[in-house]
Structure 1
Amino acid sequence: MAERRRGAALEKALLDAAWEELTEQGYARFTMDAVVKRAGTSPPVLYRRWSDRDALARAALVHRLRELVLPVPDTGSLREDVLTLLREINATRAPLTTTLYAHLAAHHQATGTRPADLTDPVTTGRKQAVDVLFDRAVERGEADPRRLTERARSLPFDLLRQELLSHFAPVEDRVLEEIVDEIFLPLVTPRPG
């Protein structure tokens, strides 16, 4: 007899089942009943936590993105920290990014919710992780805090995501270096005088 899941273990099992269902079936064919079946539970267990498929899809996405927050590199250099993180995302997250945005398009059509609303870095914990990297760069004098705006902080990752979605494949390392060396660093590096 299987042990009865409760609390955090039950919620994780439900969200994992929802994520699997969402990635296999897409949002258009995503149903609460399918998640109940996949999780091996009952409808009341699921509906007590999420009232509809939109709420469940959102929760599954946030859950998955929180699980996938990468360790923040500490190479001693802003350039190398950002490049290391971009390279890791490029190597390990390219299929996830393209699949995720394909499913989010169907979610947007059904609900009007923008992908940015669902992948918010604050909600998923990614912002706090990356802020450490930028705070260290400011302390070392490699980045001007006045120029290191929220838009500037997200720029390398936004550009990588755009490349991944444009090519549906990991991007060449030279492109990552261009993003960092030609676009990002000139934007945030302190100016003389």
Structure 2
Amino acid sequence: MERTRRRGTELEDALLEAAWDVLLEQGYPGFTYEAVAARAGTSRPVLYRRWPRREDLLLATIRRSLLATRVELPDTGRLRDDAIGLMRNAEAGRSQMVMLLSGQLMGYFRDTGTSFSELRDQLRSAETATGFERIVARAVERGELADRPRPPRLVNLPFDLLRHEMFMTLKPIPEQTITEIVDQIWLPLL
């Protein structure tokens, strides 16, 4: 049986899937054009044409994985319930990825002199509001919150605290912790 040549999005999906597998199995030190090309059954020039730098390939790989595990944004009609639901969804959908990436990317951060924060900023598109920015905007529209400027750090605090818990405990986050973050910290600050 003759194998047809992959092109376009089919080829790109196969390349990024192979790149993700290499990243998870070998970490950043083993995340090379050679390893990804071998896993994808292609050549290095095919990768270089799409991603001229190793960092470009890494960012595309992580971005694709994040899009595949998109966190559902609840719309319950109440800010508190939306926040708790969003945190539950984020924890369920991304906790394993956060743990894997935290260990696998240490070499990348060392080599580039960057941090998770800078990686997050590179992956986040400028025009895309975070889930917490969207649920706060909806709460303002409903009249649940006053329409006034709020610093992005405050608006996104629940997810930052959730991520901190993920890194510190390396375990699923208990419902009580999620509720405490929302009820005792975030809502009073808003």
* TM-score between both structures, scaled by the size of structure 2: 0.90
Question: Can you give the 5+ residue segments of structure 1 that lack an aligned partner in the other structure?
Answer: 189-193
State which of 150, 157, 160 in structure 1 corresponds to 2:159. 157
* Residues 96-131 of structure 1 deviation map (CA, whole Å, 9 limit, x = unaligned): 111112222221011112212222363398635543
Deviates more, 1:20-29 or 1:132-141: 132-141
Asked if the contact 2:24–2:100 (Cα under 8 Å) also holds between the matched residues in 1, the reply is yes
Kindly tell me: are residues 129 and 86 of structure 1, through their superposed partners in 2, closer, same or farther at Cα, counting changes over 3 Å? Answer: closer
1:37 aligns with 2:72: no
Give distance in 2, aligned partners of 1:155 and 1:181.
Answer: 12
* Residue type of the alignment partner of 1:123: S
Asked if the contact 2:73–2:86 (Cα under 8 Å) also holds between the matched residues in 1, the reply is yes
The 5-angstrom pairing of residues 28-107 of structure 1 reads 28-107=29-108
Asked if the contact 1:63–1:124 (Cα under 8 Å) also holds between the matched residues in 2, the reply is no
Identity of aligned residues (%): 43
Number of residue equivalences: 188
Kindly tell me: are residues 130 and 13 of structure 1, through their superposed partners in 2, closer, same or farther at Cα, counting changes over 3 Å? Answer: farther
Hey, which bits of structure 1, 4+ residues long, moved more than 6 A? none
Partner of 2:189: 187
Give distance in 1, aligned partners of 2:50 and 2:186.
Answer: 41
Kindly tell me: are residues 93 and 18 of structure 1, through their superposed partners in 2, closer, same or farther at Cα, counting changes over 3 Å? Answer: same
* Residues 127-160 of structure 1 deviation map (CA, whole Å, 9 limit, x = unaligned): 3554332221111122234353211121100000
**Corresponding residue SS for 2:29:** helix
* Residue type of the alignment partner of 2:71: L
**Corresponding residue SS for 2:13:** helix
Kindly tell me: are residues 36 and 117 of structure 1, through their superposed partners in 2, closer, same or farther at Cα, counting changes over 3 Å? Answer: same
Give distance in 1, aligned partners of 2:47 and 2:100.
Answer: 25
Asked if the contact 1:50–1:56 (Cα under 8 Å) also holds between the matched residues in 2, the reply is yes
* Residue type of the alignment partner of 2:144: E
1:8 aligns with 2:9: yes
Give distance in 1, aligned partners of 2:125 and 2:187.
Answer: 27
Asked if the contact 2:91–2:172 (Cα under 8 Å) also holds between the matched residues in 1, the reply is yes
Deviates more, 1:121-130 or 1:47-56: 121-130
Offset of residue 52 of structure 1: 2.9
Give distance in 2, aligned partners of 1:71 and 1:124.
Answer: 20
Offset of residue 85 of structure 1: 1.1
